[in-house]
Amino acid sequence: MAEKTQPSVELTENFAVGNYARFPVAFTHGEGRYLWDEDGRRYLDFFSGLGVSCLGHGHPALLEAITEQAGKLLHTSNLYSHAPGAELARRLCELSFADRVFLCNSGTEAIEAAIKMARRAKPDRHEIVTAFGSFHGRTMGSLAATGQPALREGFGPMPPGFVHVEYGDPAAVAAAVNPGTAAVLVEPILGESGVVLPPPGYLAELRSICDREGLLLLLDEVQTGMGRTGTLFACEGEEVKPDILATAKGLAGGLPVGAVLATEQAAAALLPGSHGSTFGGNPVASAAALAVLDSFNKEGVLKNCQETGEYLAAGLRRLFEGHPDVVEVRGRGLMLGVEFSSPTAPLVAAALELGLLVNAAAGTVLRLLPPLTLTREEADEGLDLLETALKKVS
Ligand SMILES: *Cc1c(COP(=O)(O)O)cnc(C)c1O
């Protein structure tokens, strides 16, 4: 970690609202899977800025798409059409179950739009069943949906109409359904709660409950989407088609954008004037998202995510399984977690000290979200650094 204070760290401490527990590091630039800080130190990035920088840093095609579009047109509002946004909507439909796409700027906005779409689509019902331990965002609707009461503390009153049940238990969802239920909203894998995988068949069972009861299935793929688990969307791995899917984080490889993918029937609920966003899907963010999808295609990014993900997971098992403090190594693609029986913050701090960015989720989980372009050599380097970090803290 920084020996001398990095100027931006001090400035941030003095002038930014204190809502983040930031590490005392300020980055200046990145290349591939590496970042450099204001002291010139290099870090291997196994975090991707919360699963966002899916192509790593300074990806040439992404950079070219952004600079080219920025040179042409930055913004027009959604009162008009533009080619990057139109093309992005078409590509997302072609690549998924969806017939229509709404573009916004973030994960929480995608969830808000999905909630509004679901409630309008089921006008005589409003309740949405979600899971304990879920994370759907920080704005009021998505915060009310989030199954973590601690995150709501002091921010009430919350919008009503959200019912929380045990994650991974379809019977609990079925039991919560009543004549006022409009939709079921879940993450295919819990991200913020520490890479928690539901039992196999969970999403398929939720799909059949929704079909039986006439409900909409909403998937929060803000974190699991855009290749993170090795398929473009995690629900493909389960062969489940939702009615509405929210995605964001990796979508534009680092620029702010979010998307709601929907069936024709669900999308029909949002008529002119019913919802909107000034910036949503602006030309530059859309061009970036198109470049990300192009790279996935041309550079075999999803296959790399599957293969390097398996390789890294095997390495993590070798390193951690059998360790007295380790409960489980788990995950899919390059969304991996190691659950400990004790807090992982010291391990994450030790890794940072050694030049490796990893994340502590849910207190006792070590979460890894490397760029989807990670190589085996970089996976090996990260595993070596983790091994050293583990020795330092045990
Ligand atoms: C990050 C995240 C969100 C919120 O996204 P923001 O872009 O931070 O608003 C919502 N749902 C899930 C599953 C997430 O991981």
pLDDT value at 4 more than 80:
no
Q: Which residues pair with 102 in a beta bridge?
A: 260
Q: What predicted TM-score, i.e. pTM, was given to this entire model?
A: 0.98
**Ligand 1 atom nearest to 142, measured from its CA:** 10
What is the Cα 154 distance to its own chain's centre?
26
Q: pLDDT for 102-156, tens place per residue?
A: 999 999 999 999 999 999 999 999 999 999 999 999 999 999 999 999 999 999 9
Looking at residue 373, what is its pLDDT? 98
For a substitution probing ligand 1, which of 20, 108, 109, 218 has the most ligand atoms within 8 Å of its CB?
Answer: 108
Looking at residue 5, what is its pLDDT? 78
Distance CA 305, CA 159 (A): 38
Tell how far the Cα of 5 is from the centroid of ligand 1, in angstroms.
31
CA distances to 16, 206, 351 from 233, rounded to whole Å, are 35, 17, 30
In sign, the C-alpha dihedral spanning 291, 225, 268, 102 is negative
Average pLDDT of the residues of the chain: 97
Residue with CA at minimum distance from ligand 1 atom 10: 136
Long-range contacts: 174-179, Cβ < 8 Å, 24+? 174/209, 176/129, 177/129, 177/209, 177/213, 177/215, 178/127, 179/125
pLDDT (average), residues 38-62: 98
The catalytic residue positions are 135, 220, 249
Looking at residue 87, what is its pLDDT? 98
Q: Which domains, from first to last, does the chain contain? A: 8-58+300-393 (3.90.1150.10), 73-298 (3.40.640.10)
Confidence of residue 2 (pLDDT cuts 50, 70, 90): very low
